[in-house]
Structure 1
Amino acid sequence: MSFNYLNYCDDFVGFDNNKEFLPKGFDSFNSQYRLRQLFLNLSNYVLKPYCNFTKYEQRRLSIYSLKNAFEFKINSMLPTSNIKTHKISKSFKICINSTKIINNYLNKTTNSTFVTSKSLVPAAKLISHCFINNNMQLLIDKHLLFHEFVLNKIRKLHKDKNVIDLGDSICIEAKDICKLKIYTSWKNIEVKNPNIKDELEGAIESIKKGDFKQIYLAYPKDDEFKKQIPIYVDELKNKEYQIKAIPYSFRSIIR
């Protein structure tokens, strides 16, 4: 996988060997340490169920590079224990493809290690995503990470409602209430001149179709974008609607 620097910065966060691509500082994430912690936390949403960085691991491993953090995680998941006895865990199930992937990783061979088999053990699955062409690399679409973060928050907050993941947006519905649609996008919002054109077009189209009357546009909270911004659209002036830009905070990650 190969991306130029601009694509890295604009669309992806993660690492390519020792080179890290972290989002710009915002909210409480204004240091390299905090931004690594943010990435390790958000990566759980995409890498589940075979990789989960605990709160303790997120804090502890953020003092190291992301490459080292994932190498540590992989090693902790391998069938051999870190204890001197090096006994193989009884709960560890092995398969041929998993053995090849793990051996290639341990021996740092140039053989391809990416295998999509569902039977792979967790360590092998993580290696297949992070060890590519004899190189440690993991790049994840930041908009996907933010979408999954917001989706998880909404599901916890609205357990009594039906929360539907629509891919480009999230829908909340329940009896006797109007459906609510939420578009998500990871971008820095300038309050005086918000760059929300793409999300707004989707919101306008949904309202015109009559599917929704209330739509939120969710973005990460930062020092400038701290409060909801009501959005008014001339072409919808004869319709009953509500559109708001909503800041979502990541601060719960560092608590």
Structure 2
Amino acid sequence: MQNNLIGFFQEQESLPYFFDHFNNKEKLRQLFLSLSSSLIKEYYIFSKYEQKTLCKYTFKEIFEYKINSLKAISYIKPFIKKDSFIFCLHSTLIINNYINKEMKKQIYASSKLLPMAKVIATCFINNKLQLFFDKNLLFHEYVLNKIRKMHKNSKVVDNGDSICIFKQDAVPLKIYTSWKKIDPKNLKIEDDINTAINSIKQSEFKQVYLVYPKLENFNRHIQIKVDELEDKSYEIKVVPYSLRSIIRNIQG
């Protein structure tokens, strides 16, 4: 399970292996910031500009910057004095705990500070900066969002372990996602193929795609033939899915 986690604990970073165009730590940090922002955007979002500029720093430094940038008074954003604000006790407790329990000057949160408290609540645990996500979940959500944009006129259902696409007058499609390093000459995905077979046998889905991150040597669909399904109309494909748009969209 540990190998499936991407994120950081203080100065220690857990990054995936280099793959495709993600061939250095900076690009892998961009990947994490983009995927995690999309997953929990109600708690924080790193803009394209932030992803591009902050990836040179460690995750700890990146999230410290993000928190400080959301303060009411900072050197990053201009301060506009207000005569009144709405007091938020929960945000105040979170922010004060992050800054320092012993400090004499307390920060009282208004609704404008709620984003700061949300970021802290997400990544400041047991008085340590840390944040981890399962890479399979991040990849699943990325593929799901792309599919929803591509198939706006179709019914797209997220089942957690799979994604289903229902098109009018078309065979329904089931997609299983997994962040694995695929070798086209030696797939080693027997469990995933068995999952696809069982889905074809036990449900209405006769078209199943197994989707994995695209690699330089894994860039084409692979058709899977199964002897026990010879008498059935079915299609199982191993499909490479590119993540390159993440770094392509923030270059330049």
TM-score by length of 1: 0.87
One of 193, 204, 210 as aligned partner of 1:200: 193
CA displacement at 1:76 relative to structure 2: 1.5
Q: Secondary structure in 1 aligned to 2:38?
A: helix
Residue 34 of structure 1 corresponds to: 27
Residue 134 of structure 1 corresponds to: 127
Q: How does 1:10-25 map to 2 (within 5 A)?
A: 10-25=3-18
CA displacement at 1:201 relative to structure 2: 2.1
Residue 57 of structure 2 corresponds to: 64
Q: Secondary structure in 2 aligned to 1:243?
A: strand
Residue 149 of structure 2 corresponds to: 156
Amino acid at match of 1:179: P
Cα distance between partner residues in 2 of 1:90 and 1:58: 35
One of 221, 246, 249 as aligned partner of 1:253: 246
Number of residue-to-residue matches in the alignment: 238
Amino acid at match of 2:75: N
Unaligned runs of 5+ in 2: 103-112
Cα distance between partner residues in 1 of 2:12 and 2:63: 14
Cα distance between partner residues in 1 of 2:5 and 2:13: 11
- Aligned residues with identical type, % of pairs: 55
8 Å contact 1:94–1:121 — kept in the other structure? no
CA shift digits 1:103-147 (9 cap, x unpaired): 1111167xxxxxxxxxx9222122112111111100100000000
8 Å contact 1:151–1:165 — kept in the other structure? yes
Assess, with a 3 A threshold, how the Cα gap between structure 1 residues 104 and 249 changes in structure 2: closer, same or farther: same
Cα distance between partner residues in 2 of 1:90 and 1:216: 58
Assess, with a 3 A threshold, how the Cα gap between structure 1 residues 77 and 195 changes in structure 2: closer, same or farther: farther
Residue 170 of structure 1 corresponds to: 163
8 Å contact 2:9–2:129 — kept in the other structure? yes
Q: How does 1:1-255 map to 2 (within 5 A)?
A: 7-8=1-2, 10-82=3-75, 86-87=79-80, 94-107=87-100, 121-255=114-248
TM-score by length of 2: 0.88
CA displacement at 1:84 relative to structure 2: 8.6
Q: Secondary structure in 1 aligned to 2:223?
A: strand
